C-alpha cells in the first residue's frame, strides 16, 4: 500500500461512563473509568496503519507517561512517529463522557504540547509529506499549521484529506487545498450554514462544500452512513452493521483512517468510502478509540459479508 502521512494530536483519553452527565455543581457516581490513547490525528493514524497503510504521524508530545503511552500505542499499531518531545509542556489529555444507555459521548480536549505545533514542524517533515500518497490533517492543532501542511502536500501532488474537526471557521482558500473534506453533520453545518439531518440535507451541504473549492465532500452521518459527492456523482453508503454498538467515540477517526488507507491502495473514492464505513462499523462495537480500530482482514471480511 502507499504511504499515508497524518498531522495531528495525541491525547490520553480519560473516559467516564455514567447514566447521564452531571449538572453544573453536581457530583454523580459513574459506572466505569478507562484510561487509553486518543486524539483525532493519532486515532486516524492507528486506523490507517491497522488497515494496512504505511502510516507516519507528525505531532508533539510532552516528556511524561502519557507521551510514553503514545509511543507504545503507535508501535503496537505499526505507526511511524515523526514527533518531538518537550519537557516544558505536557502530552494532551481528553475528558470523555459516555452515556451508558446510548454510547453517545461528549468530549473536552486539552492538547498540551501539540497546541504549539508550528510551521517549522511541517518544514522539518517536508520530505516525508512530499513522499506520501495521501496526506491527512484535522483542526486540533493550530489551523494555520494545517493550512501550511496542506499547501505543501498539494504542491507536491499528494492527495489531501481535511477532517474539519472539531468544527471551526476555515480561512479563505483552505478548502481549495483539499481533494477530500470529511465533516460530520455538525461540522458540515458549521462550514456551510445548512442544517444536516437527512441524506438529502447532506447532498445539499456536500454540493456547497464543493462550490467552496473542495474536490469532493464526504459527510459522515452516523447511523445513516456516509454521503460522497465530487461534483459529478453522488453516492450514499449505508452504515455497516458489525454488531451491537458499544461506543461511538472514535468512529469518525476510524472512518478517516480507513478511507485514507483505501485511497493509498489505489481504490476508487466511492469504494474507499465503503472501506472507511466498514472500518467505522467495526470500531463502534468495541470500547475505546485507538484500541477499537480493526485490522485489515476484519474490514475485508465485513465488506465481503
Annotated catalytic residues are 253
Residue closest to 8 by CA, chosen among 193, 257, 284: 257
C-alpha cell, 116 = 504549539
Taking CA atoms, 267 is separated from 32, 40, 50, 121, in Å, by 40, 23, 17, 30
> Which burial class, exposed, middle or buried, applies to 30 when counting CB atoms under 10 A from its CB (0-12, 13-18, 19+)?
middle
262, 303 Cβ separation under 8 angstroms: no
Rounded Cα–Cα distance for residues 99 and 96 (Å)? 10
HSE value, Cβ hemisphere, 13 Å, CA-based, for 150: 28
Amino acid at each position: 500500500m502507499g504511504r499515508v502521512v497524518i498531522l495531528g494530536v495525541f491525547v490520553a483519553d480519560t473516559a467516564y461512563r455514567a447514566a447521564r452527565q452531571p449538572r453544573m455543581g453536581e457530583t454523580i457516581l459513574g459506572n466505569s473509568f478507562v484510561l487509553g490513547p486518543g486524539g483525532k490525528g493519532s486515532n486516524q493514524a492507528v486506523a490507517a496503519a491497522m488497515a494496512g497503510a504505511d502510516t507516519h504521524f507528525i505531532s508533539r508530545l510532552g516528556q511524561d507517561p502519557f507521551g510514553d503511552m503514545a509511543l507504545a500505542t503507535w508501535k503496537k499499531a505499526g505507526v511511524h512517529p515523526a514527533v518531538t518531545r518537550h519537557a516544558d509542556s505536557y502530552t494532551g489529555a481528553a475528558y470523555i463522557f459516555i452515556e451508558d444507555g446510548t454510547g453517545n459521548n461528549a468530549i473536552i480536549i486539552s492538547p498540551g504540547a501539540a497546541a504549539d505545533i508550528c510551521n517549522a514542524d511541517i518544514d522539518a517533515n517536508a520530505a516525508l509529506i512530499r513522499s506520501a500518497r495521501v496526506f491527512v490533517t484535522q483542526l486540533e492543532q493550530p489551523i494555520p499549521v494545517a493550512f501550511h501542511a496542506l499547501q505543501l502536500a498539494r504542491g507536491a501532488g499528494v492527495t489531501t484529506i481535511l477532517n474539519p474537526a472539531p468544527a471551526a471557521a476555515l480561512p479563505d482558500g483552505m478548502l481549495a487545498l483539499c481533494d477530500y473534506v470529511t465533516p460530520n453533520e455538525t461540522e458540515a453545518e458549521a462550514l456551510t450554514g445548512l442544517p444536516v439531518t437527512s441524506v438529502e440535507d447532506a447532498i445539499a451541504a456536500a454540493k456547497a462544500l464543493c462550490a467552496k473549492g473542495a474536490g469532493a465532500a464526504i459527510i459522515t452521518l452516523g447511523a445513516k452512513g456516509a454521503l460522497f459527492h465530487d461534483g459529478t456523482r453522488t453516492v450514499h453508503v449505508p452504515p455497516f452493521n458489525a454488531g451491537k454498538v458499544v461506543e461511538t467515540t472514535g468512529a469518525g477517526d476510524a472512518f478517516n483512517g480507513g478511507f485514507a488507507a483505501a485511497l493509498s491502495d489505489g481504490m476508487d473514492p466511492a469504494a474507499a468510502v465503503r472501506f472507511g464505513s466498514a472500518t467505522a462499523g467495526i470500531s463502534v462495537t468495541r470500547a475505546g478509540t485507538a484500541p477499537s480500530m480493526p485490522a485489515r482482514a476484519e474490514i475485508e471480511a465485513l465488506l465481503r459479508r
